[in-house]
Amino acid sequence: MADKIAVVTGANKGLGYAIVKGLCQKYDGIVYLTARDEYRGQQAIKTLNELGLKPVFHQLDVSDSNSVEKFADFIKSKHGGFDVLVNNAAILEWDAVYPTYEVAKRNIDVNYKSLLTIEKYLYPLLRDGARVVNISSACGHLSNIKNKRWIETLMDPDLTTEQINEFVNEYLESVKNKTFNKNDYADDGKHAEHRVSKIALTALTMVQQRKYENISINAVHPGHIKTDMAHGGGEVDADEAAKVVLYLILEASPKLKGIFMWNNKRLIDWYDPYNTEFSCTGLW
């Protein structure tokens, strides 16, 4: 019988590291800690080894299609497929409240468009019954946008990846052409690039679940975590935040598919654009 295989992206620190640690403690299989920077990834492996845990490192830059393809080839040749994927790799450049086009594009490329590359190369290797968890945030709830046309598009039960791409690209063009409208977003449009990337990620979760019925694909807001991405400090530590992700991987019913889960394991109605309880304002 083939070994069970779990893969976590962006896992050399913070939430990804905590998820790897939790999986090493509870998952009956091989856990891959992946990171863009090989040195930092190996250091994370060393620290986990000192705790008696044995994850395996592999370099993976999710924003580089060649890197993703290379990793997919490795998984296919060594294991034939895999069973768990946590899409955690993400960036947020806090100083750019109203970012330049370059900063906005960088955020979108890592936080959203990388998932399309991962789908292309890694999803064909997911075995029946596999579980995918996409790390979203409070910024990924639909209430973070106010533009009614976009809301109607994203709420369409037949939403396509192409339509999500149009939503993302229209935002990027508005930044590039200096036609960006703060009123199209919650919280006066602050960090709209992050809201757009995480909304797109969550929407893609729903679209992908319709396409891949033999696996479970869910999105989660893990909470306001104490990491270097949490401007001004977070509310929960990474180990605590990892619990909801580990729950979706190890304990949740396989029938739980295409959902948006809050950090307290509450199932949230993503298709509720006027419920501001779930939008992110100020620190998140």
Instruction: Provide the pLDDT for residue 148.
Output: 96
List pLDDT tens digits, range 234-267: 578 999 999 999 999 999 999 999 999 999 999 9
Instruction: Provide the pLDDT for residue 283.
Output: 40
Using the Cα atoms of residue 105, residue 154, residue 164 and residue 110 in order, give the sign of their dihedral: positive
Residue 14 clears pLDDT 80, i.e. is over it:
yes
Task: Measure the CA angle with vertex 9, ends 8 and 15; round to 5°.
Answer: 75
Work out the percent of the chain whose per-residue pLDDT is above 90. 86
pLDDT band at 111 (very low <50, low <70, confident <90, very high): very high
The residue-averaged pLDDT of 194-198 equals 96
Average pLDDT, the chain: 93
Instruction: Provide the pLDDT for residue 274.
Output: 78
Work out the percent of the chain whose per-residue pLDDT is above 70. 93
Whole-structure pTM value = 0.94
Residue 45 clears pLDDT 70, i.e. is over it:
yes
Instruction: Provide the pLDDT for residue 94.
Output: 79
Instruction: Provide the pLDDT for residue 232.
Output: 46
Give the lowest-confidence range in 159-173, 205-219, 269-283.
Answer: 269-283
Give the DSSP letter string of the chain: -PPPEEEESS-SSHHHHHHHHHHHHH-SSEEEEEES-HHHHHHHHHHHHHTT---EEEE--TT-HHHHHHHHHHHHHHHS-EEEEEE------TT-SS--HHHHHHHHIIIIIHHHHHHHHTGGGEEEEEEEEEE--GGGSGGGB--HHHHHHHT-TT--HHHHHHHHHHHHHHHHTT---GGGBSGGGTTHHHHHHHHHHHHHHHHHHHH-TTSEEEEE---SBSSTTSTT--SB-HHHHHHHHHHHHHTS-TT--S-EE-TTSPEE-SS-TT-GGGS--S--
281 or 80: whose pLDDT is higher? 80
The residue-averaged pLDDT of 50-58 equals 98
The residue-averaged pLDDT of 64-86 equals 98
Instruction: Provide the pLDDT for residue 96.
Output: 82
List pLDDT tens digits, range 81-92: 999 999 999 998
Asked whether 267 and 219 are in contact (CB, 8 A), the reply is: no
